[in-house]
Every structure is written in structure tokens, then in C-alpha cells.
Amino acid sequence: MVYENYTTFKAKQNQAVLTVTFDFAPVNIQGIPMLDDLNRLSETLENDKSVKVVVFQSAHPEIFVAHADTNFLKDMSTQAVSREEVELLYLQKVLQRVSALPQATIAKVEGFARGGGHEFMLACDMRFAARGKAKFMQMEVGMGILPCGGGASRMARQVGLGRALEIILSARDFDADQAQAYGTINQALDADKIGPYVEELANRISQFPAESIEACKRAVYASIDTPIEDALKEEAYWLYQSMSKTPAQKRFQYADDNGAQNSMDNQRNWDQLVMGIQDVK
């Protein structure tokens, strides 16, 4: 697949990892051009099994992705609509498409991610932020609206109702360590360590079968808002999908043939075993 000719970012593939670097002067504003680029990127990724991990980062030294473009917000209708008439916003559709990608997605945040930029980050599977550089905010309540790019919905699922309402209704900045404590990011890292950490994580995940990565994502996401019985069925469904498309059977047989299951050494060193078995195709 070809990842080029985007207006708001550059994309570079290195083996099974695609790095997307936002670079849209002056402030990486989240407007229609960026949403169009993300929509086209998602369409390509949905059909590309060669990419297993997507890392989103920014070329701007102070901003990850800025808020949604006020130009398309101020042009919205001021007429209320009924629940029956309401349709998803373009912003919601695009960020949901990013969230639903079969690849693992990682946001590497080394600057401001406010409003729509914060909502984009929340749409990624994993989020890591640099201490002393990353700042987060949902400012919409102060503008007279609400987070409308999945911010209210995804944040509640991520951190719980009370914490989500604190973040949304306070409309104030919080830093990487606070974000880690809140649960909006996976981990806060020193500025000189975030790059190597994300790179190692992305490369590690990229060694696993694409079908297995997708199956894990689908099952975890399904568990968020379904009864436990339905979530367990979803796990079983995706287990069969992965077993039919990956070398899982061969790997289990290899482990059994080599006495891995009953070896105390292997029990102590599962990290080495799970990476070493990637050679079994």
C-alpha cells in the first residue's frame, strides 16, 4: 500500500509499523483537511495486513493535535433536532473509523492535546505522554457546547463517570502525570524516554500475527458496553477467527513438543518464550 499525498501529516512505514507525523502549520488544527486525510488513511489501513501498528506523533514541538477548527463549528445549525433526526457528525465518524482500525494504534503525545486533539488521542488504543511537554483539556463546556468527537463517550468508558465529568466540566489543563492518575493515558514518561519506549512497544506488537492483534482489539472493545455473557461470546468468536487465520495451532504444538508448558524455566521466562515462538509460522 502507498501512504503519501496527505495534506496534514506524513506517513512512513518501517516493516509492520506505520508512523504518522502530524505536520499542518501553524498549529495542527483539527479541521476538514485533517479529517479527510485521516479518513483516507483509515480506508487504506483497513485493507493493509502488512501494517500491524500505527504510531501517531507530531512534528510540532509544542502541539500534538490542536482543537477542532472553529470554522466548521461556527457554521453548524443552531436549530435543535430530535433524537430520530440526529446523525453522526463527520468528526465522530472519522475518529470512530480510526478507533475501529484492525491495527493497534498508539498516540505519542509530546505537546498540547486539547479539545478535538484530546478526543483524537482517546480514539487511539494506547496513549503515552511526555512529562513537561504534554497538556490536556476539554474546553467545550466553556464555549457553550460539549465534547462532540467522542470525548464524553470515550472518556466515561476510559476513566469512569465522576472523573470524566470532572475533566469535562472543569475545562482546565492537566499534565501527563495527572493524565496517568486519571487514566486517560497509559503512562507518563520523561521526554527523553517516550520515543524509545513507544518504538520498542510498537516493534514488539508488530511481531505478532495481524489477525491475532485484531481479534484482541475486537474482544476488548466489545467488553466495554455489553453484558458479560455477550462479551464472553465475543471472545469465543474472535478466538475462532484467530485460530483459523494464524499459526496458533503450530505454536501450541511446538510448545508442547518442546515441553514448554511443564518447564519451570519457561514459566519464569514467558517473555522470552512468547517472542521466540514468533519464528514458528
User: In angstroms, rounded to a whole number, what is the distance separating the alpha carbons of residues 159 and 179?
Assistant: 10
Instruction: Kindly compute the dihedral angle of the four CA atoms of residues 227, 223, 36, 183, in this order, to the nearest 10 degrees.
Output: 120
Rg (C-alpha) for the chain, rounded Å, is 20
Pair 103, 162: CB distance under 8 Å: no
CA atoms within 13 A on the CB side of 258: 14
User: Which residue among 110, 119, 211, 234 is the active-site one?
Assistant: 119
User: Which residue among 66, 68, 210, 215 is the active-site one?
Assistant: 68
User: Which residue among 116, 117, 149, 151 is the active-site one?
Assistant: 116
User: Which residue among 11, 123, 129, 140 is the active-site one?
Assistant: 140
Closest CA to 102 of 44, 39, 46: 46
- Return the amino acid letter for 177: D
CA atoms within 13 A on the CB side of 2: 3
Q: Is 119 a catalytic residue?
A: yes
Q: Is 68 a catalytic residue?
A: yes
β 112-114/135-137 pair status: parallel
Q: CA separation (Å) from 242 to 82, 162, 249, 271, 275?
A: 42, 37, 10, 21, 18
CA 77 to chain centre: 31
Closest CA to 185 of 193, 195, 175, 196: 175
Positions marked active-site: 68, 116, 119, 140
